[in-house]
Amino acid sequence: MNTLIWAHRGASAQAPENSMEAFRLANRQQADGIELDIHMTRDGHLVVAHDETIDRCSNGSGRIIDMTLKELLTYDFSNHMDGYRNIRIPTLEEVLHFVKGTRLTVNIELKSGLVTYEGIEEKAIRLVSDMGMKKRVLYSSFNHHSLMLIKKIDRAIPIGLLYTEALVDPQLYALRIAAEAVHPFYYTLAVPGTVRKCRENGIMVHPWTVNTQEHMTWMYKEEVNAIITNYPALALDVKKRL
Ligand code: G3P
Ligand code: CA
């Protein structure tokens, strides 16, 4: 099994998470794919950030849904990381444009929490399709209603079922909502047989966030389809030494 390496929020251990710098670094570190999170601005732009507010990762504060793109672009998203300054929040379009010139795939995680973004699924799908990137993208979400909406729009679009606690028979749940993949918190794979049952049912397994050498080795031995990690260079190194 060639377990793929997907850079979580880009190579986010070494560059500001969800920034163009983190995605470029992931590509240089030979990741197979990138994972990113999207939100929608007040004026309907899809932007790449993890939290629904900009407080933790930038020098500003407030909710993305309350700001225009122009306003968001005035803040520095260096995430208080040494060696980085004047990092702008990327739009999804900008990231896809970059990815187009690489061999990377993209796992787009649709975020929703206290804020839900009306129409975000349709908007993302249209953008990906207009840019000719359909074959390079898989969507995931902790909001399974959002995933089902994607399948209603187009059943051929691949989705990954995100979850944190161990589910009973995740493969059956995935089959029920026609998900191609499960995206479990990696510790839940300690439940014996989880990966095997998924594999037998044709469901791919993409655990997150696998950041230590020990846990990477465990996931490689489980023969998961991809690991989602903040450390793509380390993941490649561990893979080569298996
Ligand atoms: O997609 C895997 C992982 O990113 C889910 O958790 O909070 O890092 O978006 P989070
Ligand atoms: Ca994520």
Q: How far is CA 96 from CA 41, 145, 220, in A?
A: 18, 25, 28
- Confidence label for 124 from pLDDT (cuts 50, 70 and 90): very high
- DSSP notation for 97-131: HHHHTSS-EEEEEEP-SSS--TTHHHHHHHHHHHT
pLDDT tens digits along 46-66 = 999 999 999 999 999 999 999
- What number does the ligand 1 atom closest to the CA of 208 have? 2
Q: Is residue 83 scored above 90 in pLDDT?
A: yes
pLDDT above 70 coverage of the chain, percent: 100
Within 6 Å (CB) of ligand 1, which residues are found?
Answer: 8, 35, 37, 50, 109, 140, 162, 183, 208-209, 228
Q: Which range marks the domain in which residue 116 is found?
A: 4-240
* Total of domains in the chain: 1
Flag whether pLDDT at 101 surpasses 90: yes
CA of 94 to the centre of ligand 1 (A): 21
CA distance linking residue 129 with residue 167, whole number of Å: 32
Mean pLDDT of the chain: 97
CA atoms within 13 A on the CB side of 31: 32
Q: How confident is the model at residue 112 (pLDDT cuts 50, 70, 90)?
A: confident
- Give the span between the Cα atoms of 146 and 150, in whole angstroms: 6
pLDDT given at position 52: 96
> Per-residue pLDDT tens for 161-213?
999 999 999 999 999 999 999 999 999 999 999 999 999 999 999 999 999 99
Catalytic residue numbers read 8, 50
Please determine, for residue 114, whether its predicted confidence score (pLDDT) is greater than 90. Answer: no
**At residue 218, does pLDDT exceed 90?**
yes
Per-residue model confidence (pLDDT) at position 138:
98
Continuous H helices in 3-105: 20-28, 69-72, 92-100
Please, are residues 86 and 78 in contact by the beta-carbon 8 Å criterion? Answer: yes
As residues whose CB is below 5 A from the ion ligand 2, the structure lists 37, 109
Q: Residue 134 in 3-state DSSP?
A: helix
pTM for this prediction: 0.98
pLDDT of residue 113: 82
- Whether the predicted interface score ipTM is above 0.85: yes
CATH of the domain at 134: 3.20.20.190
